[in-house]
Structure formats: C-alpha cells, structure tokens
Amino acid sequence: MDLFEKCYQPSLAKQARELGIYPYFHALESRQDKEVMMEGKRRIMLGSNNYLGLTTHPAVIEAGVKAFEQYGSGCSGSRFLNGTLEMHLELEAELAAFLHKEAVVTFSTGFQSNLGIISALVGRSDYVICDKENHASIYDGCKLSYGKMLRYDHNDMADLERQLQKVPQTAGCLVVTDGVFSMGGDIADLPTIVKLAKQYGARVMVDDAHGLGVIGEGGRGTASYFGLEDEVDIYMGTFSKSLASLGGYMAASADVADYVRHASRPFIFSASIPPACCAVALTALRILEAHPELPVRLAELSAYARKGYLDRGLKIRMSETPIIPIYTYEAENTLRKAKEIYEAGVYVNPVLPPATPPGECLLRTSYMASLNEALLDEAMDIIAGVMA
C-alpha cells in the first residue's frame, strides 16, 4: 500500500474547499491588533490570544528591535550548549518571582513545554491523569513519556477520583489539567483537583497558557485565582498569548526545574528562544507587573461581550474568561457562519471535532484588553445579524 494513500482520500478540508467555506490560513496584512487588515479588508479581531493587546505596545516593539540589533537573529544552539543568553536567565528569574515559584525553565514554544515537562517527569512505571478537554500538547507529552495515561471526563471530579483509585500506591502520578480551557473558556475545578491529588499522593500540573495575564491576582493565573499557589506543583505557560512573544515555560521548585533541565529532550535538543522573542516576553511581563489594571480591563470587556451576546439572543457557553464560545452545532453550519461573519468584517475561529464533541461545534471568540465597547458593539451586531 502506498504510504501517501491517506493524503488522497476525501476529507473535511477538501469538502470545505469545494463548498467555498474553507476557514483556515487567512493572511494578515497588518499587525496583530484589535483591528486588522486581512485579505484586503478591515476586520475586527475577535479570534486572537493577544489577551493584553501587547503585540503593538511601543515598549514591546522597541525591546524586540534592540535585542535583534544587539544579539542578532538567533543563538544557533540549545540552552544546554551555546544558546543561553544572560537575558534568558533574567526572564526566568523575573517570571519565577512573579509566579511565586522557586525556578522557571523556558522552552522554545508552548507546545514543546508540555512535551518537555511531562515526558521528563513521567517515567515508565508512573501514571499521568488528564482532563479529556486538555490541550493537544498535553496529550502528546503523555505519549512521549513512558508512563500510563488515564483520562477523566471534563471537570468531573468524581471521575478523576475513579482514575486516581486505579493508580498503584507504588507508582508516581501526575494530574495535568488546563487552567483555563482553550475552547470552552471555563476554569478547572482546581480546589477539588488539589484536594484529591493530596489524598491519593499525586502531584498537580496546571497548563496556564490561557490563564497567565487573564485571571488571578495581577494576572498570575489559575492557582492565584483560587489562592492555591503553594498547592500546585508545576505551572506551564506560554509567551505567545498575554506576553506577546513566542516560547513557553515551566515554573516549579528548584529541584524539579533542575531535573527537567537535564532530562527533557525537547529542552536539550531545541534551539533556545531567539533574542528578540526573549526581550519581548521580558518587557511584556514587566508591563503586566506594572499595570495590574490590564487583566481587570480585560475582564470588564469580556463581561460586556457576554452580556451583549445574551441581550442579542445568542446562545453562548458561560465563563469568567475572555474566551466566549457561540454554539453553532454542526460542522457545515459552523463553517458557513464563520465565512459570513468574516466577509462582514469580523474574524472569529470555527471549532470542529475533534476539538469539540460531534454536534457541539462552535465559534470561538476571544477578547483583548485593547478593545473598546464601540468595537465590541459593532462586532456583536454583525455576528448577531449572521446568526439570526
């Protein structure tokens, strides 16, 4: 059989192209901002993870330019060898202090962070337990490890306990959950997760890619939101969302961080974060620290949008975060609505299986602190008109 046979088979992507409703790879012609030029037309951006709106902040841009001029385009090596800049260490130290953890390890991408953390810590005789709606990078990290993976129904704490009961007392166990779930925008039941993990002798890791800069005191994330910073063993996060850059990190105790630095293949064998990306993340972190009102403004605008959708008669999934899904149910309907909204001047993200269960497709909208009520009203009127 030809290895490429699968490439020639019918697919949803091919069908969507034939129907003229293929939604991916729209090309930006401007900065990632609250309003963008995309394929020749102004669009209101309701599909970005640039939660604090820092991608266009003058200080962020200046920091990237200066780092590029000072250090060049890259380090051409891994952190383990020739790829560590003093600025990498500075970023790790300041982020650790911000998150109230002893140490931080930075990775080249957020996806690699989950791969690198889980595969390093979960060994052949260990178990890792995942929420079924965790990010794909968590699942791939579990596959890369030699441990046994168990899954529990989304945010179902009774099912989590059932999975914990399957773990032998002689085995190590890591419970991994998204803090803020990337598609639904809901928040993990972290208090119960921590309680159950303690009861059964497991460790807890929170993927806070969509929590940093969004919830918690000063934007410190999910553990801070629940007052559980000392109870969560590992935070993972990204620089590509609230911190307007590229890369990822693990925050943990000094011993755990040191172990991962010397055992994580994605860390050891990947080139380090480019200087400009490092400088941008560090500057964005300092802006977040200096302006705790940014997450507050983000929360206000998100609440305004939720009320606006409900007032316009749309069915949304309720949350307390800047991720607001609008239900569209079936795949073809979702793609058609996304195209109509896009053509009318608003960018949103269609979400289809396997990212959602069949029959529960949705339009994922997400918000930035740099938006304003007038733009939101314009966008919501457009979306409501298409969904009517």
Active-site residue set? 182, 210, 241
Find out whether 117 and 250 touch, Cβ atoms under 8 Å: yes
20 Rama sector, left if φ>0, alpha if ψ -120 to 50, beta otherwise:
left
Helices 293-311 and 275-290: angle between axes, nearest 10 degrees: 80
- Enter the DSSP assignment of 321: S
Q: Hey, what's the torsion of the CAs at 193, 196, 200, 204, to 10 degrees?
A: 20
The span from the CA of 164 to the CA of 174, in Å, is: 10
- Strands 349-351 and 248-252, sheet pairing: unpaired
Exposure class string for 294-303: b at 16+ Cβ within 10 A, else e: bbebbbebbe
Stretch (H or E) spanning 220: none
Find out whether 21 and 339 touch, Cβ atoms under 8 Å: yes
